[in-house]
Amino acid sequence: MQQITLKVSGMSCGHCVNSVEGAVKAIGATGKVDLAGGTVTVDFDETKLSVDAIKEAIEEQGYDV
Amino acid sequence: MQQITLKVSGMSCGHCVNSVEGAVKAIGATGKVDLAGGTVTVDFDETKLSVDAIKEAIEEQGYDV
């Protein structure tokens, strides 16, 4: 398992938290958003997922990573 | 039909717009959020709905009206 913290801009409310954490969960990882800090910390299996795939999943929700 | 514009605080993104407009729609009225202005303008049938009921529906989504 590996952990990364990504800077995500445009998250402004609890719905945004759900969108981002949901997107991460949908690809099989676990994300925890820090709304005040504008970051998401993701735990993922590096043999199954790439950082690019995680970034892409979040970007698809309309946020810049 | 009657129209009111309510000041709603805490709306910060497109998800918030959907929450507020959805709450208004769910009680049979039509709401249009102005995110920049922090307001929602609601068209409703005053013989069926009160302003208090509209405020309550929005407050239930976690916003202050």
Tens of pLDDT along A1-25? 899 999 999 999 999 999 999 999 9
Average pLDDT by consecutive 10-residue portion of chain B (65 residues)? 94 95 97 96 96 97 95
DSSP string, A7-24: E-B---SHHHHHHHHHHH
Of B29, B25, B26, the C-alpha closest to B50 is B29
| Average pLDDT, integer, range A31-55 | 96
Q: What is the CA radius of gyration of chain A?
A: 10
**Residue pairs between chains A and B whose CB atoms are closer than 8 Å:** 19
CA angle, A7 then B13 then B32, to 5°: 170
ipTM score assigned to the predicted complex: 0.70
CB contact under 8 A, A19 and B16: no
Contact B17, B11 (CB under 8 A): yes
Contact list, A10 vs chain B (CB under 8 Å): 13
Closest residue of A to B19, CA-based?
A15
> Rounded mean pLDDT of chain A?
96
Q: What's the rounded Cα separation, in Å, for the pair B5 and A60?
A: 33
Burial B42-51 (b: 16+ CB within 10 A, else e): bebeeeebee
**Would you state the pLDDT for residue A35?**
94
Scanning B1-65, the segments in alpha helix (DSSP H) are 14-26, 51-59
Domain A2-59 has CATH 3.30.70.100: yes
pLDDT score for B55: 97
On chain B, the residues whose CB falls within 8 A of the CB of A16 are 13, 15
A35 touching B (Cβ < 8 Å): no
